[in-house]
Amino acid sequence: MATSPPIAVPALAHSPRRWWALAALTLSVLIIGLDGTIITVALPTLATELGADSAQLQWVSGGYLLALSVAMLPIGLLGDRYGHKRLLVGGITLFGAASLAGVLASTTAQVVAVRAVLGLAAAMIMPLSMAILPRIFGKEELPKAIATWTAATALGMPVGPVVGGWLLSHFWWGSVFLFNLPVVVVALIAGVWLLPSDRTRDGLDRKGEHRTAPFDLLGTVLSALGITALVYGTILVPEDGWGSPTVPATVVGGLVLLAVFVRHQRSAAHPLVDLRLFADRRFLWGTLLAVFVNFAVMGILFVVPQYLQGVLGNDALGTGLRILPLIGGLMLAAALSEGLVPRFGARTVIAAGLALLAAGSLLGATSGSGDGYGFAALWLSLTGFGFGSAMVPATSLVMGSLPAERSGQGTSLLETVQQVGGVLGVAGLGSLLSAGYLARLSVSGLPDGAADAARDSVTGADAVAVRLHDPRLLSSAHDAFTHGMSLVLIACGAISLVAVVLAVIFLPGAGTATAGTEETGTAKAARKAGAAHETATVPDATGEVAAPAPEHGQSMA
């Protein structure tokens, strides 16, 4: 029986330097979260300063999402072939160059192009930074590292509006891009200095077999076209609505292309995505449950800032600060989950986290327009705690199931389906919010222009009510938006409860470690047949110790 190539033990597993390396990785993903939300605060300013219309503003965000979603799958494969650190450093560098171009941009078209390049850079940073974690930490510390990495990705969401609001209050709109540059420089220096080298990755890389395999160009084209159509269709939803023939046609076309892509991957000799990963139930259900969580949380993060700003009357800075209880709950759960999973098992902890996420969402659904921020802080904290309790162990399950030589592909696949799920969640739940808002809003007696502005958004209704001194419209708009938000939160709670059932039925039990120690059927058969053998551990040319590689699907952590 052919032997598997040796897998290197994490180079920094026993070095204090590993925590500094983790800081470098978290800094690289933190800036992505910051940039993504800072730009949303800047959209009204861009409309004023550059004369951008609503369609152009839509593509400032949409171009980023498209580039991010399309590029992650091929980036993961390239990272496995040519080195995770090498491409990660390239992504950080590209992010900095695009941010500098954003500072110098003078037209809306240039800003859209800059945002697309930033999305490409983010696609290089997100999955590859996650793929490097098992090369730094052993299986005992990997959940803690994943928890820290996850918290960093989420922290940028509320902090971005805080930073963006402050920058726009004191400087010109280009400062939202300029802010990225010093963070990029620090992340770049830290990444080059602290992250382990790609030279000693694994046996396949040393032999050169990975690098010379044909690249799946057809799979890349099919996935790019399918994801582009799917994401583009959802981007059109806020402007055109689901009733437009373009939206369902584009979405269905994207799904058909993705089905063709999956069929091609099954037969390709060197596929873009290794679908055998889904044979491991840790990867399959860890990924699906992470998508459920992301779907719900992105829906919550879509409605909550509008509620805090439009109904409770906070500015962008105050809104960002008031979302922090959600991040606080997430970070607390991330710290506690490391000790809970070994004791109770991933299935129990993830199911409990999903139940708490559902409870927080359903509690928020009881909000009234007259409730103060204290009640919102309560259910946001509960939601964040449930988010962290479910997401961190689920991600650890996925990471523990990945073969080291396919870690880039696996993390890219995880991030891609999460990203697409989040986009679909915002589109679908955004439509539900709009329907609930319009169903309760009363604009009788208003001039046509004022009525249209009130229907567009709760902030538009607030502006009309102030201008016309109409307290009745103000009350109606706040009640209508709170009703729409309640519908969204009920949907998020229902989605989370469905995920609880799936977690209880399909996730591994308490005997399986989160980092992935479950023995595969192949390994069991080999052991029973007496075919399993040990490979002596010897130092390689760099002094790293190589350990025997498990069969496909076993943990490499």
DSSP 392-409: HHHHHHHHHHS-GGGHHH
Tens digit of each residue's pLDDT (9 = 90 or more) over 13-33:
566 778 888 888 888 888 887
pTM for the full model?
0.77
How far apart are the C-alpha atoms of 170 and 103, rounded to whole Å? Answer: 16
SS3 539: strand
Per cent of the chain over pLDDT 90 is: 19
Highest mean pLDDT among 4-8, 361-365, 436-440: 361-365
Report whether pLDDT(361) > 90.
Answer: yes
Of residues 163 and 262, more confidence is placed in 262
pLDDT in tens, 401-442: 877 777 778 888 888 888 888 777 777 888 888 889 888 988
**372-395: pLDDT as tens digits:** 899 999 999 999 999 888 888 888
Q: What is the pLDDT of residues 274-286, one digit of tens each?
A: 888 888 888 889 8
Which amino acid, one-letter code, is at 32? Answer: I
Q: What is the pLDDT confidence band of residue 510, given thresholds at 50, 70 and 90?
A: low
Give the per-residue pLDDT at 461: 85
| Burial class of residue 255, CB neighbours in 10 A (0-12, 13-18, 19+) | middle
CA-to-CA separations, 298 to 192, 217, 312, 321, 420, in angstroms, rounded: 32, 32, 21, 18, 11
Alpha-helix runs per DSSP H in 403-457? 407-440, 448-456
Query: Tokens 């009733």 map to which residue?
Result: 243
CA 342-346-351 angle, 5° bins: 135
Between 247 and 121, the higher pLDDT residue: 121
Confidence tier at 141 by pLDDT (50, 70, 90): confident
